[in-house]
Amino acid sequence: MDKVQLIEALEAAVINYQYENFQELAKQAVTEHPTEAFGYYYLSESLLLESIPRYDEAEVCLAKALEFEPKNLKYMVKFGQLKQLLGRFDDAQIIWGKVLLLDPENSTALISKASFLITQYQEFEQGLAYINQAILICPEELSAYLYRAEALSGLGQHETALVDIELFLAAQDEFSEIGTLAKINILKELGRISETFPLYEQVIEFAPDNHIHQFNYGQNLLSQESFVKAAEHLGIAAELVEEKHPMFYRTLGQACLYALQLDKALVALKTCIELDPKETEAFLMLIQTKIELKQFQEALDDADQLLNKETEDKSLIERVLLLKGTAFLGLQKYQAAEDIYTPIAKATGLRKKEALYGLGTVYYEKGDSNKAYRFMKAAKMGHHNLAQEYINAYLQDFLEDLKERSLKANEAAFAKNEAAPFLQELFGKLWKFSDLESKKLEDWPADQIQKVKESLANFSMFLTEKGAVLVSDGKEEILTYRIKKEAKTGALIEFLPLDNFPSFVAKLKLTENGLSFSKESEEVLHLEEQDLSTVPTALIENYKKYLTKEALAYLGPKAAPILAKLL
């Protein structure tokens, strides 16, 4: 069989899937034409088509083919692809460079070179240039869009990257795991976590035994507070992973704890600690789990064990102490709990608000609502996320009584307030923020100063002779007040919160441009009158969210037209 006939037979064998015959013919070509490249090339192809590909032998055959025809682009491209498949990326790059010298518009080489730059070295700009060139030459090559999406995402252009991923996925005849995972990563970068959930479901359906997909899905569910479902998928991940790892059990324990699947949390967290006794986060959650299970003494024992191991990490020590305080509360050992919380509450630190919250619960349990409220209010001002809920649930009757007593104590000031010429100019009007002067902002960049001013756009205030309402930055203050000093164009006023919390003194001044309000040295808020017929929707919604007519009933008739518009 001559060379032409042999090549025709080889091509026919491949087309007809006659792989055994293909390999025999390739061996025959090498035997009969040992000084020609084509036989070695076809033999490499046959080795790659075996049920268990023989990559190393195929590499040797391709190298031999290139000895005879060093500038054969077909062989060079195949050799570069094989090098990449074997993980020899640096070798592959040398080959792609040679291909592009011979054929600058070789799309396979352009895409391969770009993929290496993007995935191995995060050289996104350079990789993007190669990919864009490849797409211009060969727009139907779908892998280019996948790599371009990764490059764009690496450059922070996530929305544009998403367009490429959608294009890639839409062109697939079958489900693409790699494309779907790329879309998931981009959506996560965009903060659109919930949109990844249906995609994770698809990936898991495609590869149900992949523990990484189960784990990543569980982590994202956990981040979105979907605790029960997170526990389900994290549990599957822990079962699937071949070698037990503490990370899987710590995360599973966390999800089960938050889902209140406490027995499962206990098992997972104990397993985590057995695998790695240094897993302090798991230890902390184990103590918390035992507290939830009302195993208070066991929780205390574990806390002491952890404290004995840890003597230098102040933050960790405080976290353990706070858990001890909670356990003492559960055992109704209120003095022991107070002794734990008090030093942390007095210090300055991240845990201060938690200690204040703890003291609030201690005094409530001891029947001292006044102190309970003081500490809970301080915790709320420190941005403890449960303090207001606690106040709403347990201290409302105390607060209503306190408001009545606060107003009664200030009754003597109402007549003086109503008669004040300066204040009469303010009654019955809604005052909104217009500008800010502050010594603190003098050295700030102009754009940051503007952002601070814009953040105060929802600040507003109105007064009657009995009280004042201030709404700012998503919160409200209902106050009574008394005049400390008055002039024709202004007054020094002591504002008194109805809950008897520490008061503040503010200077109010009326000018031809509006009203100024200053309660800090060298800082002045400028306000202007808001036309009640054109109150912005956002401002109205702010009042509706935080104020009720019942709560403001004591303000009297001067507040009626304002409240009618706002509520």
Question: In this predicted model, what pLDDT tens digit does every residue of 365-418 receive, in sequence order?
Answer: 999 999 999 999 999 989 999 998 999 899 989 988 888 888 888 888 999 999
Q: What's the rounded mean pLDDT across residues 4-14?
A: 87
Where do you find CATH 2.40.128 in the chain?
410-566
Task: Give the other-Cβ count within 10 Å of 37's Cβ.
Answer: 20
Tokens (6 digits) for 197: 């959930």
Task: Give the other-Cβ count within 10 Å of 103's Cβ.
Answer: 15
Q: Among 498, 520, 499, 224, which residue's Cα sits nearest to residue 507?
A: 520
DSSP-derived letter for residue 173 is: S
pLDDT in tens, 494-537: 998 888 777 899 999 998 889 999 988 889 999 999 998 888 88
CB 65 within 8 A of CB 41: yes
Beta-carbon contacts of 195 under 8 Å, excluding residues fewer than 6 positions away, are 187
| Residue indicated by tokens 């996530």 | 158
Q: Whole-angstrom Cα distance, residue 476 to residue 459? A: 10
Q: What's the rounded mean pLDDT across residues 331-357?
A: 95
pTM exceeds 0.95 for this model? no
Looking at every residue in the chain, the average pLDDT score rounds to 91
Q: Helix H segments across 295-435?
A: 296-309, 314-330, 334-346, 352-365, 369-381, 387-394, 396-409, 411-419, 421-424
Tokens (6 digits) for 424: 């009469």
Q: Whole-angstrom Cα distance, residue 111 to residue 1? A: 39
Beta-carbon contacts of 214 under 8 Å, excluding residues fewer than 6 positions away, are 204, 233, 234, 236, 237, 240
Q: Which CATH superfamily is domain 208-293 in?
A: Tetratricopeptide repeat domain (1.25.40.10)
CB 102 within 8 A of CB 73: yes
Domain spanning 410-566, CATH class: mainly beta
State the DSSP H helix or E strand holding residue 109, giving kind and residue range, or none if neither.
helix 107-121
| For residue 201, pLDDT beyond 90 | yes
Q: b or e along 474-497 (b: 16 or more beta carbons within 10 Å of the residue's beta carbon)? A: eeebbbbbebeebeeebbebbbbb
| For residue 29, pLDDT beyond 70 | yes
Q: Among 308, 302, 310, 296, which residue's Cα sits nearest to residue 273?
A: 302
pLDDT (0 to 100) of residue 219 = 97
Where do you find CATH 1.25.40.10 in the chain?
208-293
